[in-house]
Structure 1
Amino acid sequence: MEGRATHDADDRPGNAPLVGRREALDALGHALDATEGGTFAFLALVGEPGAGKTRLLGELTDAGAARSLPVLSGRAAEFEQEMPFGAVVDALDDHLEDHRTGLSPQALRLLGTVFPALADFGESGPATAPAGSNGSADPRVARYQLHRTVRHLLEELAGPAGLVLILDDLHWADEATVELLDHLVRHPPKARVLVAVGYRPAQASPRLAALVDAAGPHSVHVAVDPLTMSEVEEFLGPDVSASRCEALYKASGGNPFYLEALARMDRGGEPAVVADDAEGVSWDMGVAKLTEVPSAVRTALQVELSALPPEALTLAHAAAVAADEFEPGLAAVAAEMDEAEALAALDVLTARDVVRPAAVGRFRFRHPLVRHVAYASTAAGWRLAAHDRVAAHLAGLGAPAAIRAHHVVRSARFGDASAARTLVEAAGVVAAQAPATAAYWLEAALDLMPDDPAPDQNGAAPADGSPTRVELMLELAHVQAVSGRASEGRLTARNLLNLLPTDDTIRRARAVQLCAVMERQLGRVHEARALVLDELRGISDRQAPAAVLLRIRLVFDRIQRIDIRGSQAVLDTIPESAPGWGPGLKAAIASMRPMTAYGAGKISEAIAYAEAGDRLFSAASDNDFTDCLDCMVWLGFCEIFLGRYEAALRHLERCVSIARSTGQTYILGYFLAGYSRALLLQGRLAEAAAAADEAAAVGRELRSREVVAYGVMQQCLAASWAGDHEFALKLGDEAVANDTGSGEWWTAMACVARACAMVNAGRLEEGSAALIEACGDGTKGLDMSTLTMCAETLAWVRGVQGDAQDASYWADIAGALAVEEVVGDTGLARLARAHALRVHEPARAAVLAAEAADMLRAAGRLPDAGRAEFTAGLANGAAGLRAPARERLRVAAEIFESCGMHGPHAQAVREQRRLGVRVPAPGGRAASGAGGRGNAPYGLSPRELEIAQLVAEGRSNQQIAEQLFLSVRTVETHLSRVFAKIGVTSRVGVATAMNRHD
Structure 2
Amino acid sequence: PLRGGGGHRPQQQPRGQPLPAVLSPEATELIYEYGLVHVLRGTHDRIRPLLREAARARTEAGPSASAALGVLIAFCDVFSGDIARGAPEVTRCAALVDALPDGVAGHTPDVLALLGCAELYLERFPDARRHLQRGLDAATGGAQKHIRAHQLLGLTMIDQWAGRLDWAERRAAEAEELARAVGAPDVVTLATAMRAMTLVWARGRRYASEAVALAARAVDVVALGRGWWATSAISLLAHAQLLGGDATGCLRTLRDGGGGDGLPQVQPAFRPSLLALMATAALAGGDAVGAERLLADAEADAGRLGLPLQWACVHRAGAQLRSARGEHAGALELFERAAEAFRGGGLPVQHAWTLIASAPATALVRGPGAALDVLDRAESMARACGAALAVEEAERVRARLSADTRPALSPHPSAGPRVADLWSALSEREREVADLAAAGLRSRQIAERLFLSHRTVDSHLGSAYRKLGVSSRTALARALGPAVPG
TM tier, smaller: 0.7 to 0.9
Calculate the TM-score normalised by the size of structure 2: 0.73
CA separation of 1:822 and 1:582: change in aligned 2, threshold 3 A? same
Cα separation, partners in 2 of 1:801 and 1:889, compared to 1, 3 Å? farther
- Structure 2 residue 246 is matched with structure 1 residue 766: no
Q: Answer whether contact 2:224 2:256 (CA < 8 A) is retained.
A: no
Paired residues for 1:156-555 under 5 Å = 503=7, 543-555=23-35
- 2:158 aligns with 678
Q: 2:307 aligns with which of 812, 822, 840?
A: 822
For residue 835 of structure 1, what is the amino acid of its counterpart? Q
**Residue 148 (structure 2) aligns with:** 668
Return the TM-score normalized by structure 1: 0.37
Query: Which of the numbers 64, 83, 88 marks the counterpart of 1:608?
Result: 88
Identity within the alignment, %: 21
Q: CA deviation at 1:908?
A: 0.4
- Give 1:754 shift: 1.4
The answer as to whether partners of 2:275 and 2:295 remain within 8 angstroms in 1 is yes
Using the TM superposition, give the Cα deviation of residue 782 of structure 1 relative to its aligned residue in structure 2, in angstroms: 2.1
- Indicate yes or no: 2:222 matched with 1:716: no
Give the paired residue count.
398
1:731 maps to: 214
- Give the structure 1 partner of residue 59 of structure 2: 578
* Residue equivalent to 1:317: none
Do the aligned partners of residues 809 and 606 (structure 1) sit closer, same or farther apart at CA in structure 2, a change above 3 Å counting?
A: same
Where 1:860 maps in the other structure, the secondary structure is coil
> Displacement of 1:879 after TM fit?
5.0
* Whole-angstrom CA distance in 1 between matches of 2:255 and 2:306: 26
Instruction: Give CA deviations for 1:482-504 in whole Å, capped at 9, x if unaligned.
Output: xxxxxxxxxxxxxxxxxxxx958
- 2:362, 2:370 within 8 Å by CA — same for their partners in 1? yes
Q: Give the letter for the 1:827 counterpart.
A: A
Does 1:794 pair with 2:278? yes
What residue in structure 2 maps to residue 657 of structure 1? 137
The reply to whether residue 808 of structure 1 matches residue 292 of structure 2 is: yes
User: Counterpart of 1:543 in structure 2: which amino acid?
Assistant: L
Distance 1:572 1:856, change over 3 A: same
How far off its partner does 1:629 sit? 3.3
Tell me, yes or no, if the aligned pair for 1:837 and 1:845 is still in contact at 8 Å. yes
Aligned AA for 1:786?
F
Label 1:809 to 1:648 Cα distance change in 2 as closer, same or farther (>3 A): same
Structure 2: runs of 5+ lacking an equivalent: 1-5, 404-441, 455-486
User: Cα–Cα, structure 1 residues 773 and 884, in superposed 2: closer, same or farther, change >3 Å?
Assistant: farther
Distance 1:629 1:964 in 2: 52
Which runs of structure 2 are paired with 1:883-898 in the superposition (5 Å)?
883-898=369-384
The aligned counterpart of 1:561 is 42
Deviations 1:276-304 (A, max 9, x none): xxxxxxxxxxxxxxxxxxxxxxxxxxxxx
SS of 1:854's equivalent? Answer: helix
Partner of 2:343: 857
Q: Is the contact between residue 599 and residue 783 of structure 1 (CA under 8 Å) also seen in structure 2?
A: yes
Q: Could you tell me whether the CA contact under 8 Å between 1:562 and 1:744 is conserved in 2? A: yes
- In angstroms, what is the RMSD of aligned CA positions? 3.4
**TM-fit CA distance, 1:707:** 2.4
Q: Judging changes above 3 Å, is the alpha-carbon distance between structure 1 residues 658 and 802 closer, same or farther for their aligned structure 2 residues?
A: same
Deviation string for 1:590-647 (max 9, x for gaps)?
2122233324543233221111111111112344357643244332222111111111
Rate the CA distance shift 1:660–1:719 in 2: closer, same or farther, 3 A: same
Q: Deviation digits for residues 150-203 of structure 1, max 9, x if unmatched?
A: xxxxxxxxxxxxxxxxxxxxxxxxxxxxxxxxxxxxxxxxxxxxxxxxxxxxxx
The partner residue of 1:908 within 366, 379, 394 is: 394
Residue in 2 that maps onto 1:899: 385
Tell me, in whole angstroms, the C-alpha distance in 2 between the residues paired with 1:733 and 1:549.
39
Largest Rg, 1 or 2: 1
Deviation (angstroms), 1:794: 2.0
| Partner deviation per Cα, 1:546-591 (whole Å, 9 max, x = no partner) | 3322312232343453543632333422557633x23332221121
Q: Distance in 1 between matches of 2:214 and 2:177?
A: 13
Distance 1:646 1:694 in 2: 22
Letter in 1 for 2:316: L
Q: Residue type of the partner of 2:302?
A: A
Question: 1:682-693, aligned counterparts within 5 Å?
Answer: 682-693=162-173
Kept in 2, the 8 Å contact 1:705–1:740? The answer is no
Task: Give the structure 2 partner of residue 36 of structure 1.
Answer: none
Please state if 1:621 is matched with 2:101: yes
Instruction: Check whether the contact 1:799–1:836 (CA below 8 A) recurs between aligned residues.
Output: yes
Helix, strand or coil at the partner of 2:59: coil
Quote how far apart the aligned CAs of 1:865 are: 1.6
Deviations 1:110-160 (A, max 9, x none): xxxxxxxxxxxxxxxxxxxxxxxxxxxxxxxxxxxxxxxxxxxxxxxxxxx
**Structure with more of its chain in helix, by fraction:** 2
Alpha-carbon distance, 1:745 to partner: 0.7
Question: 2: CA distance between counterparts of 1:566 and 1:578?
Answer: 18
Deviations 1:649-697 (A, max 9, x none): 1111111111116852232111110111122122222111111111001
Partner of 1:755: 238
CA gap 1:776/1:881 in 2 versus in 1, 3 angstroms: farther
Alpha carbons 1:604, 1:821 under 8 Å: kept: no
- In structure 2, the CA distance between the partners of 1:893 and 1:964, relative to structure 1 (3 Å rule), is closer
Cα 1:504/1:715, change in 2 over 3 Å: farther
Instruction: Give, in whole Å, the separation in 1 of the partners of 2:8 and 2:148.
Output: 28
What displacement does 1:959 show?
4.4
Question: Which protein has greater RCO, CA pairs closer than 8 Å, 6+ apart?
Answer: 2
Q: Check conservation: 1:676, 1:689, Cα contact below 8 A.
A: yes
Partner of 2:266: 782
CA distance in 2, matches of 1:843, 1:741: 41
Say if 1:879 and 1:795 are closer, same or farther in 2 by CA, change over 3 A. farther
**2:123 aligns to what SS in structure 1?**
coil
Q: Give the whole-Å Cα distance in 1 for the aligned partners of 2:221 and 2:105.
A: 30
- Contact 1:695–1:711, Cα closer than 8 Å, also in 2: yes
